[in-house]
Amino acid sequence: MRHFRGTEVAKPIPSYLVYKGTVFDLVDAAVDFVLSKIALSVGTRKAGPQAPVRYEIPKRRWWQRRS
């Protein structure tokens, strides 16, 4: 049973989303969601035309192994 405040049905949290698709689509959507919620620092363009970006938690692919 759900409880709502007031008379209008609303999302439980502002970032509530429904994801559909294959397992791979769901994993990609989950990674994108988490990365959108954590801190992201952007460096300077000293080394070239593209500024380096760094997430609070490193984004790695499953096939990349730790050294």
Domain regions of the chain by residue span: 23-55
Q: Give the residue-averaged pLDDT of 50-67.
A: 71
| pLDDT of 62 over the 80 cut | no
Q: Give the residue-averaged pLDDT of 45-64.
A: 78
Q: How many CB atoms are located within 10 Å of the residue 28 CB?
A: 13
Tokens representing 20 are 């559909």
Number of H helices, E strands in the chain: 1, 2
Indicate the helix (H) or strand (E) that contains 45.
Answer: none
pLDDT the model gives residue 14: 73
pLDDT tens for residues 2-51?
565 667 766 677 777 788 999 999 988 888 888 888 888 898 898 889 99
pLDDT the model gives residue 2: 58
